Chain A
């Protein structure tokens, strides 16, 4: 009943989204949007140097981090260099200044004498990239991105020199999704480093990156990355459409994008994968997934995704296949344990005592002897306590961590049992559940299991095992209705795709995986190990290499 209602609601939600999208379409172009709001930004630059500087300071205010360097070039022509301190690389700026105040380079000897502006732009500036700008709006954006702006007195154009260089974290080992064996590098907060890390894994011309700027205020750069010829063109088309529909003023993390473009909002299950690991993203790309890299976060989104993908760790592919298979089984077991264990305990001890072996029943009964609460309440207390401890563990300062651990372990565990508030068996169940929830490689799938756990506990407390089964049926129905960018969530199990089962519950050795999983890709791109006929020759080499590399 409630399931139906949910579905109905979700449809409504979609409608609303579409309507919002249409509205969005009208003002699709962000620049247009900006311009219509602020007329003065349309203003062309003036030929007066001071006028230009004034326009910039009017827009940005006279802030201390805006550096304006006046200098004279070519004997007496006035020029100014503007940049935002901290957004630029100091060395690059110094070099730039040096090249500007130096003697002008000798004329190229070409027939046509360069104008001073061209001379500066093409010959003087000792910097990697230059761009000609003609409106104050462009100037402002270029500055905010970290470029240095050169104004020349007497010219209506400005030059943006690429000196971007925000202080950034270097490539480090990812703090989540750690592995025992495998690359130890992780994404950083800088988009260009991240895309370079991916390119470093896949040195193919088929690797395609499309950049977009989203967010009226934050103007965050995102990159849509996919493999041409492997990823499904329709999926890519759909992603582009969804990304274009996003109408928001800020994108601070890939989670923003995830919520905007996922297929269904009312679900505890994640419909996009995220990863901090370049190797995991590269593997996804090579299977036909696309990635969205967002500037400012090390978490890269991967989609389309299926349920079983969340149980695969990149390490699975680096270890021997038998070990990986064993670990997969452990993960699936842990997922169900983390979702079901407390509810099964409640159901059996309050409704179906006959299911327990006698010795176990007596032992549990003995522990429950002095416990004042019903099993459901007892379990709820412990589960909520654990969730609080866990949340505290994430938030609290590192220094007082050990103190909290002691309080958690001793006070809430042992003492609660000794005081007779909860039974020892319940503590064991809750601890095991808690540990099991961390076995799942994907944090958001683990969180889904945690949320469902509470629902199942209530059902178990009211209807026993029947309640658990009803809850599981509801979840199964829900799961089979989910789709991630058109790919059924439970595939390749439901619908059954026999060819793709080689990498679900078991992982067969690499040499036996001749084809990529066919779920989310172009039919031409399925062959992993032999020469695919439909691709061009260069492509062949690449695909083959990638197959081996992975």
Chain B
């Protein structure tokens, strides 16, 4: 009898634990609106937040999936509010499902928003747990919502596609950085107080916002990456061209792989392309009567991937040396252009402040009061050291006519 009582008490406790918990914060997958991209625009003093919500059934098709394949893969809608979160909350008035941000791939901020200040955006992401700080941040000139509306080649979910473009671009060419939200916050909070954000824009006049665009092989409008936006103390101050931004990337030691294309040493209008890998930049500051000089030493390995030059015996070390020197010169051109742009914008986009703080702790106390001014007085000396490790499978540039003559 006693045993029965103990068991029933145990069973009651167990059931209470299970039933009173009320399934905690359970939410089924078909009650979620999986957001793949979010954009932030300003509408007067209000925030206009747009969401690109994935419609799972039109993305995956298979047995048992209702409504598979038909209809747009994503749905874009906007809400407004005095704060970003208020706008988010207003989606409950129009969306049948709860917005779910954990899988948000990109955050697209309009240029206007960026120029007016990014602090509120950072606050929302760093304060809440549901939105991940690992989201990629990009800047769009004009309306950011328009980016979300566009269909994209290959990738059905454009939010995911933009992230992939950004990721691959920064991995293989390093011109535009891939900046995650926490990196943006860290950059802005660092001594230099500046950050870079890639630009995403819609190329083409019309919109690719309808499924009909897939009926032709060419999209009327395309999402592309463009320039680099320079953010200073949470506000955007200007753009860097791709050339400038590659230079800045070299100075920030952000380059892993990239391409250099420059003219053949002794010919005009003939070019060759080098693929740079394993690039690294060492900064060496020195102080002379309060003026700082920074020596940047760029090292890298290169592979010759194309040569249009008319004749060059690549088996001769002198020729290879010559190519290396040309590449180094080209690199210096890039970095100097980047450096000039940074000084033009009076923004420490290259992140020298951290280096200065580490190296000259005493002087830093003075400098940090007016770092922007001091930054413009720094002199930069760039030296590059490119080693061509491989010229490819052929020595001479391929010239079919010559090959034919050689046979005779």
Contact surface of A with B, Cβ cutoff 8 Å? 1-2, 5-6, 8-9, 12-13, 349-351, 353-354, 358, 361-371, 374-375, 414, 417-420, 423-424, 458-459, 461-464
A462 to B14, CA, bound (A): 12
User: 5 additional contacts, CB 8 Å, given A366-B61, A417-B63, A464-B26?
Assistant: A9-B6, A362-B54, A363-B60, A369-B57, A374-B28
- CB <8 Å contact, B64 and A418: yes
Least Cβ distance of A88 to chain B in Å? 49
Inside 8 A of A364's CB, which chain B residues have their CB?
29
Inside 8 A of A12's CB, which chain B residues have their CB?
2-3
- CB <8 Å contact, B64 and A2: no
Inside 8 A of A350's CB, which chain B residues have their CB?
26-29
Least Cβ distance of B46 to chain A in Å? 29
Determine if B262 is an interface residue (Cβ-Cβ < 8 Å). Answer: no
List which B1-55 residues lie within 8 A (CB) of chain A.
2-3, 6-7, 9-11, 13-14, 18, 21, 23-30, 32, 34, 36, 54
Determine if B340 is an interface residue (Cβ-Cβ < 8 Å). Answer: no
Contact surface of B with A, Cβ cutoff 8 Å? 2-3, 6-7, 9-11, 13-14, 18, 21, 23-30, 32, 34, 36, 54, 56-57, 59-68, 100, 102-103, 105, 132, 157, 160
A417 to B7, CA, bound (A): 40
A464 to B28, CA, bound (A): 12
Inside 8 A of A6's CB, which chain B residues have their CB?
10
Smallest CB-CB separation from B102: which chain A residue?
A354
Inside 8 A of B7's CB, which chain A residues have their CB?
5, 9
Inside 8 A of B27's CB, which chain A residues have their CB?
350-351, 353
* Total A-B Cβ pairs within 8 A: 117
Smallest CB-CB separation from B13: which chain A residue?
A1
Inside 8 A of B56's CB, which chain A residues have their CB?
362-363, 365-366, 369
Q: Can you list the 4 inter-chain pairs with the closest CB atoms, starting with the nearest?
A: A354-B102, A366-B56, A366-B60, A5-B10
- CB <8 Å contact, B67 and A362: no
Least Cβ distance of B213 to chain A in Å? 21
Smallest CB-CB separation from B58: which chain A residue?
A366
Smallest CB-CB separation from B163: which chain A residue?
A358
Least Cβ distance of A83 to chain B in Å? 50
Smallest CB-CB separation from B159: which chain A residue?
A358
- CB <8 Å contact, A462 and B28: no
Instruction: From known contacts A351-B24, A366-B56, A462-B21, infer whether A9 and B13 are also in contact, taking CB-CB under 8 Å.
Output: no
With beta carbons under 8 angstroms apart, the residue of A358, A365, A458, A461 that contacts B30 is: A365
Instruction: From known contacts A353-B102, A375-B28, infer whether A414 and B63 are also in contact, taking CB-CB under 8 Å.
Output: yes
Smallest CB-CB separation from B62: which chain A residue?
A424
A304 to B27, CA, bound (A): 47
- CB <8 Å contact, A353 and B10: no
A400 to B6, CA, bound (A): 46
With beta carbons under 8 angstroms apart, the residue of B18, B26, B59, B100 that contacts A366 is: B59
Least Cβ distance of A432 to chain B in Å? 18
- CB <8 Å contact, B67 and A369: yes
Least Cβ distance of B285 to chain A in Å? 43
**9 A-B Cβ contacts within 8 A?**
A2-B10, A5-B6, A349-B28, A354-B132, A358-B36, A363-B60, A366-B56, A374-B26, A464-B26
Least Cβ distance of A482 to chain B in Å? 19
Smallest CB-CB separation from B160: which chain A residue?
A358
- CB <8 Å contact, B103 and A367: no
Least Cβ distance of A143 to chain B in Å? 44
- CB <8 Å contact, A420 and B66: yes
Smallest CB-CB separation from B61: which chain A residue?
A366
A418 to B66, CA, bound (A): 9
Least Cβ distance of A419 to chain B in Å? 8
Inside 8 A of B29's CB, which chain A residues have their CB?
349-350, 353, 361, 364-365, 368, 375
Inside 8 A of B67's CB, which chain A residues have their CB?
369
Inside 8 A of B57's CB, which chain A residues have their CB?
366, 369-370
- CB <8 Å contact, A458 and B18: yes
- CB <8 Å contact, A9 and B23: no
Inside 8 A of B2's CB, which chain A residues have their CB?
12
Least Cβ distance of A410 to chain B in Å? 12
Inside 8 A of B63's CB, which chain A residues have their CB?
414, 417-418, 424
Instruction: From known contacts A2-B13, A9-B3, infer whether A368 and B28 are also in contact, taking CB-CB under 8 Å.
Output: yes
A269 to B105, CA, bound (A): 46
Instruction: From known contacts A6-B10, A354-B103, A462-B24, infer whether A424 and B64 are also in contact, taking CB-CB under 8 Å.
Output: yes
Inside 8 A of A463's CB, which chain B residues have their CB?
21, 24
Kindly name the residue among B6, B29, B132 whose own CB sees the greatest number of chain A CB atoms within 10 A. Answer: B29
Least Cβ distance of B38 to chain A in Å? 14
Inside 8 A of B30's CB, which chain A residues have their CB?
365, 368-369, 371
Smallest CB-CB separation from B22: which chain A residue?
A462
- CB <8 Å contact, A362 and B34: yes
Least Cβ distance of B96 to chain A in Å? 13
Inside 8 A of B160's CB, which chain A residues have their CB?
358
- CB <8 Å contact, A358 and B64: no
- CB <8 Å contact, B23 and A461: yes
A462 to B3, CA, bound (A): 28
Least Cβ distance of A95 to chain B in Å? 59
Least Cβ distance of A330 to chain B in Å? 29
With beta carbons under 8 angstroms apart, the residue of B6, B28, B34 that contacts A361 is: B34
Least Cβ distance of B24 to chain A in Å? 6
Instruction: From known contacts A9-B3, A358-B103, infer whether A365 and B64 are also in contact, taking CB-CB under 8 Å.
Output: no
Smallest CB-CB separation from A1: which chain B residue?
B13
Least Cβ distance of B193 to chain A in Å? 32
Inside 8 A of B64's CB, which chain A residues have their CB?
367, 370, 417-420, 423-424
- CB <8 Å contact, B10 and A367: no
Least Cβ distance of A367 to chain B in Å? 6
Inside 8 A of A9's CB, which chain B residues have their CB?
3, 6-7
A374 to B68, CA, bound (A): 21
A418 to B68, CA, bound (A): 12
Inside 8 A of B60's CB, which chain A residues have their CB?
362-363, 366-367
A243 to B76, CA, bound (A): 75
Least Cβ distance of B265 to chain A in Å? 48
